[in-house]
Amino acid sequence: MSPQIRKVALIAHVTCSVGWLGAVAGFLALAIVGLAGSDSDRVRAMYVAMELDGWYVIVPLSFASFATGLIMSLATEWGLFRHYWILIKLVINVLATAVLLLHMGPIGDVAAVAAHRGLEGAGLGKTQIQLIADAGAALLVLLVATALSVIKPRGLTGYGHRQRRRDSAEPTST
């Protein structure tokens, strides 16, 4: 990968990853207003907006973060299996996306109720609180992934050590 293309790919990955984090923060704000709000029309709008934010912003950014991260790891010297921090970020991304897709169901349920009638008496209080807790947990997990990207803690995997030994044993051509 040429340096220019690498920079473009890195910009795309950082943008998608930080965008995902920001979209989750916006979702959390909507969930808090939805639970604490007193204006029923505004509360209903929050939950409809949360479903739209989930499907049209958060889910696509999670997949884009995965794809651009995969490209960055496979097309650069970092590699996908050489460093623990990259593997941890991969696992975080895959698990966070899977959990996100599972939680889109309850989000859709609350949004459907909010769109067709008021939430008063709908018995969704636990789900509303769950949405706040889930968004807060997602925010924390995405902050950990961001920190790993910045700190890049040392530590090669077994594969990384073998690759390093192999690379250092290969004669350089002049």
Please state the separation of Cα 54 from the chain's center in Å: 11
Neighbours of 85 (CB within 10 A): 18
The pTM (predicted TM-score) of the whole model is 0.86
Q: Which of 76-80, 94-98, 105-109 has the highest mean pLDDT?
A: 94-98
In eight-state DSSP terms, residue 21 is H
- In tens, the pLDDT along 123-163 reads 677 888 999 999 999 999 999 999 999 998 888 888 777 88
Residues in contact with 12: Cβ distance below 8 Å, sequence separation at least 6, in sequence order:
64, 68
Nearest CA to 147 out of 92, 104, 102 is that of: 92
Q: Is the pLDDT of residue 26 over 90?
A: yes
Q: Is the pLDDT of residue 121 over 70?
A: no
- Looking at residue 140, its pLDDT comes to 97
How many angstroms separate the CA atoms of 59 and 77, rounded? Answer: 28
How many angstroms separate the CA atoms of 90 and 66, rounded? Answer: 7
Residue with tokens 């939680």: 103
Contact at 8 Å (CB) between 115 and 14? Answer: no
- In tens, the pLDDT along 34-90 reads 888 888 888 889 999 999 999 999 999 999 999 999 999 888 877 888 888 899 999
Domain chopping of the chain, boundaries: 3-169
Neighbours of 143 (CB within 10 A): 13
